[in-house]
Amino acid sequence: MRKALVLSLTFVVAVVFFASCRKQDIDKDKAAVRALVEGDTTHFKSGTAGDSTENGVAADDTTMGVWWRGPQTHDSTATIEVHVDGDSAWVAWHQHNYGEIIHWVKTSDTTAAKWTKPLQEAVQLNAVYMREGKDTDADRGWKLKKISLAYGESETTTSVRIDSLKIHSSLRDILIVDPLSTYYWTDSLVTFTPGEKLDIKLYTNVTDGYAWLHAFWLWLFVRSPFEYQGDGVYAGTWNAQVIPGLRFAIFDLMTRGTLMDHDAPYDYSGWLLPYMIETAD
């Protein structure tokens, strides 16, 4: 009887010890992944500042005046949620952007009024890390393998929504419905050839608003408007960046009142797509 009791207690202690070690390992893995995310300012950085400054390039300013988002501040630290399961880790990265939207509104052919209104945005993107080495390696063997689109929206008022995004060219057709559930391997992102002509459509719930594409052209950050097609559909044509490398495109949707009503709140939704420019084989 005494021997059986001793064996039982030994088993219980072993189980508790194993569980404690396992929890410590998971906590170490979470900390290692979180540190990798915090150190990655290429993928985990998302704001809408400077989308079209006084020195930027915009094709839609002839009828509504000139507008842009000013400099932004962020939370002192982003919120990083990490879930570890074996050799995979799922990350949800959250950030808040704070700033102003500035609009020079044309009041006549020769005069304009400057409007400013506060903006507050919530941004999220998801990622998957996988352990490619040993837990004794640097960063406990974790490597970034997959990343989602980033999703952003205004926090104080949010009535606009992008339901889906379609990109068509002579080389490819892309449909995205859920930005935070659409993952791409980091070594095989959506890829366009230099200058590739892209026909883009945004399907939304907005029948009286504005939509834009924000991207780079050479070294300039540019904004190009979509044309409203009816039934909440906005369409535009874009030639992809010509310089090979990692790029980002923002698909931006606003209510009309955000820009054209001085007293209306900032009301925005946006998707950010990471992509590559590569020359054709």
Asked whether 124 and 92 are in contact (CB, 8 A), the reply is yes
The phi and psi torsions of 160 (rounded to 5 degrees) equal -95, 155
Residues 6+ apart with CB under 8 A from 256: 208, 209, 210
Nearest to 45 by CA among 125, 143, 146, 112: 125
83 vs 168: CA distance, rounded Å: 35
Per-residue model confidence as pLDDT tens for the chain (281 residues): 555 544 554 544 444 434 444 555 899 999 999 999 999 988 987 666 655 444 444 444 445 678 889 999 998 889 999 999 999 999 999 999 999 999 988 888 888 889 999 999 999 999 999 999 888 888 999 999 999 999 999 998 999 999 999 999 999 999 999 999 999 999 999 999 999 999 999 999 999 999 999 987 656 778 899 999 999 999 999 999 888 999 999 999 999 999 999 999 999 999 999 999 998 76
pTM here?
0.85
Asked whether 89 and 124 are in contact (CB, 8 A), the reply is no
265 vs 99: CA distance, rounded Å: 13
214 vs 52: CA distance, rounded Å: 9
Q: CB-side exposure of 2: number of CA atoms within 13 Å?
A: 0
The phi and psi torsions of 9 (rounded to 5 degrees) equal -65, -40
Q: Are strands 233-239 and 227-230 parallel, antiparallel or unpaired?
A: antiparallel
DSSP per-residue letters across 155-216:
SSB----EEEEEEE-SS-EEEES-GGG-EEETTS-EEE-TT-EEEEEEEES-SSEEEEEEEE
Q: How many CB atoms are closer than 10 A to CB 207?
A: 11
Place of tokens 């874009």: 238
| Residues 19-74 pLDDT 10s | 444 555 899 999 999 999 999 988 987 666 655 444 444 444 445 678 889 999 99
7 vs 2: CA distance, rounded Å: 9
